[in-house]
Amino acid sequence: MALNGCTRRDFLTQATLATAALGLPRAVRAADEPKRKGRPNILVIMTDEHNASVMGCAGNPVIHTPNLDGLAKEGVLFDACYCASPLCVPSRLSFTTGKYASRVDAWNNSSELATPDYPSLPAALNAAGYESFLCGKMHYAADRRYGFKDIGGNFNKSTKTNAGERRDPDDLTPKPGMSERFEQFQTKDSSNGMNHDLAVTRGVTDFLKDRKQEDAPFFLLAGYITPHFPLEVPEKYWEEYRSRVPMPVIPEGYLDKLPRNYKHLRIGFHMENVPEDVVRKGRELYYGLVQWTDGQIGELLRALAASGMAEDTVVIYTADHGENMGEHGLWWKNCVFDTAARVPLIMRWPGHWQGGQRRTGACSLVDVVQTIADIGHAEMPGDCNGDSMLGWLEHPDKEWKDRAVSEYYAHNIASGYAMIRMGQFKYVYHTPADATHPAERELYDLKADPGELNNLAAQPEQAERVASMHAALVREIGENPDETEQRFRRTAMKEGVAPGKEKGRKKGKQEGKKKADDENG
């Protein structure tokens, strides 16, 4: 968004230089102010793989999410928030920095930031007088916290290789059978994911019991794993949804028309031949797992209320990405359909934002980062992406950019792709896989086609819109996606491994990447 010919990024850069010239950066001034002056605590609850449509407050008549619904009743619900990348680590590193994933080389689940002290949201809040804490999974490397202090235990022990891959664009031969992940569609009284999240709830609850109101304001991120696969949940949660969850709508011949990369996702993740009864059970179990997760969120919110700090705490609920649940013939995430790239977002600040409100314009988690910094009077670097939504939150009629971007450059594809949502339209650009496999495009009118089943990109009457949205995408990211894809190949595939060829990869890198992919999907 430009102000008198000056972009937001330019404006922030100029503002930063101006405060530096005074010898008194805004963050330092804020730290010298009384601890509580206009600066609430900030609690971010981030789950993993939560489809934004699977909440009662989102209009879903089947799911039972009383705690999230109650939070929305007391806060503001955003209908069209998008993650920066539909994959765990790129999304979370983007949220850590306030920059698009490609700008910090967050290509896949084996990525990390360039340095341990890379400028981050928690570090900026620390400089502004906050204390930043992390309880739960953020998929960080074992030796990286980027300004957070651990509470409740050590939940982040990943090993990173920064390696990537590409599939041979012509390797579209279906595989027999299906992924072993579908064998994990089952009822269980406990699982690694549920046990992890019980520990997160305990850690946050203990922290809130011990925290004093006169302490410095805190920024706390509670990182839950569920409802991420494996889709395992106690029997009673499955029974709640048996025969109640609608099946995906996939028109005849639709899967043959998918872009090349999505065909690769289906083959690479071994999800081509999933029986109807497995699809049905997986969707039902997913709903049950969302309800289980909602229960943990309720425990956390009740602990906040019992601490006496709820009135002085901004609560933000979101997820790192969504879950496809069999829609478009896809499971997990990795695509930029709304099932995977759109995320839930609820924000509550008692006494400041009237409850029960909705915002329908498109926004992004990088906008949430800027909003948190704005609330905390913290100074993020001037080259960050996103815009603060604070004014929009306070005034529902305030003009908003209505724009969001998401990118995917990770595994099981032939080439990377990027998406931009502008108003009711979504445009997706798939970069060329090689000289003989050109770029592909998607365009959807989400008002007329919310299921994204009718690709309009090839229609002559949409040519001007496609060109305009492509130009907007390049401007927003700051780089043509074709250049981004080539940069990925130079850095993540630095050993010169050709697409689809694994023999030149060191065994250690293979094992490291497999571990990250198995852990995070």
Rounded to the nearest 10 degrees, what angle do helices 192-210 and 276-307 cross at?
Answer: 10
Average pLDDT over residues 43-68: 98
Secondary structure of the chain: what % helix, strand, coil (to 5)? 40, 15, 45
- Which residue type, as a one-letter code, is found at position 467? A
- For residue 101, the SS3 value is helix
DSSP state letter for 366:
H
Predicted pLDDT at 246: 98
- For residue 82, the SS3 value is strand
Provide CATH code, domain 38-401: 3.40.720.10
Condensed to tens digits (0 to 9), the pLDDT of residues 271-311 reads 998 999 999 999 999 999 999 999 999 999 999 999 999 99
Q: To 5 degrees, how large is the angle CA 451–CA 453–CA 458? A: 135
Rounded to the nearest 10 degrees, what angle do helices 88-97 and 365-375 cross at?
Answer: 30
Predicted pLDDT at 511: 39
Predicted pLDDT at 37: 64
Predicted pLDDT at 175: 84
Domain boundaries, the chain: 38-401
User: Contact at 8 Å (CB) between 22 and 203?
Assistant: no
C-alpha distances (whole Å) from 345 to each of 80, 107, 367 are 8, 24, 11
Locate tokens 């109640």: which residue? 244
Predicted pLDDT at 7: 39
Q: Is the pLDDT of residue 33 over 60?
A: no
Q: In this structure, what token pair is assigned to residue 357?
A: 């409100």
314 confidence band (pLDDT: 50, 70, 90): very high
User: Contact at 8 Å (CB) between 36 and 312?
Assistant: yes
- For residue 371, the SS3 value is helix
- pLDDT, averaged across the chain: 90
pTM: 0.90
Condensed to tens digits (0 to 9), the pLDDT of residues 148-192 reads 999 999 999 999 999 999 999 999 998 888 999 999 999 999 999
Average pLDDT over residues 426-444: 98
Dihedral angle of Cα 139, 145, 146, 150, to the nearest 10 degrees: 110
Give the residue from 427, 326, 426, 251 showing the smallest Cα distance to 51: 326
